[in-house]
Amino acid sequence: MSDPTVRPGPGSASDRARAMARREAPDAQSEASAERDDTLAGAVDRPAVVLIGPPGSGKSSVGAAIARATGLALRDTDNDIEQMAGKSIPDIFTQDGEPHFRDLERTAVRRALGEHRGVLALGGGAILAPETRAILAGAPVVFLSLSMSTGVRRTGLASNRPLLAGLNPRATYKALLDARLPLYREIARHEVETDNLSVAEVARIIIEKLELA
C-alpha cells in the first residue's frame, strides 16, 4: 500500500494552485476581451462627421444642412464654449484672452468627441492644439477648404470674429489660412473645396462620401 502522504490529496497545495490557475485563466481572457471591446467601442463610437475649416468655410451652415438631410443631431463646439463660459466668444477673447479661450476649446472638443454621435462642427482654430489633432486621428474629419478671397468675402471681415479684428484683417486672414492649412490637411479624411458650391451642394458631397444617407 502506498503511503498516503506521498501523493498530494485534493486539498493539497498543488491542487489548490492548479485550481487557482484554472479560475484565473478565464478571468484573464475576460479582461482581454473587455479591453478589445473597449478598443472597438472607441473606434466606432465617434461622431458621424466632424467638420473643420477656416472662418467662412461654412462649418455651421453645412453641418445644419447635413443634420436636416440625415436626421443626425448637430453640435457646434463654439456654442458649447459660450455655454461653458456664460458669455460670447468675442467677450471671452476681450475679457479673458485667447489662451483662456483655447483652454475652453480643448475641453469642449474633447467632451463633444466623447459624447456626440451626430454632426460635429469645430471652431476654425480647434486644430491648433496638438492634443486635439491627436484625438481626431481616425475620426471622419472633413476639411471645408476655400480661397482667401472667398473667405474674406464670406466673413465680411466681421467684428464678431475676434481673430480678424485689427488694422489689416485681410493680411490677418491670409496669415491664419497659411498657418492652419497644413494642420487641416493633416487630420482630414476628406477635403471639399467650397468656393463655387452652395451649402446644399457641399452637404450632399459629404453625405455621399461618408455614406450618411
Same-domain pairing of 18 and 78: no
Of 124-128, 165-169, 171-175, 180-184, the poorest mean pLDDT is in: 165-169
Same-domain pairing of 107 and 30: no
User: Is the model's pTM score more than 0.85?
Assistant: no
| 30 known ligand binder | no
Q: Which domain holds residue 153?
A: 47-210
Same-domain pairing of 195 and 139: yes
| 59 known ligand binder | yes
- Quickly tell me which residue has 479582461 as its cell: 31
| 60 known ligand binder | yes
How far apart (Å, rounded) are the C-alpha atoms in residues 99 and 87? Answer: 16
| 170 known ligand binder | no
Examine residue 2 and state whether it is found in any structural domain, yes or no.
Answer: no
Examine residue 1 and state whether it is found in any structural domain, yes or no.
Answer: no
| 124 known ligand binder | yes
| 42 known ligand binder | no
Of 78-87, 129-138, 170-179, 191-200, the poorest mean pLDDT is in: 170-179
How many angstroms separate the first and last alpha carbons of the chain?
80
> Tens digits of per-residue pLDDT, 39-65?
333 444 689 999 999 999 999 999 999
| 58 known ligand binder | yes
| 57 known ligand binder | yes
| 147 known ligand binder | no
Length of the chain: 213
> Tens digits of per-residue pLDDT, 85-99?
999 999 999 999 999
The answer to whether residues 160 and 90 touch, using CB atoms and an 8 Å cutoff, is: yes
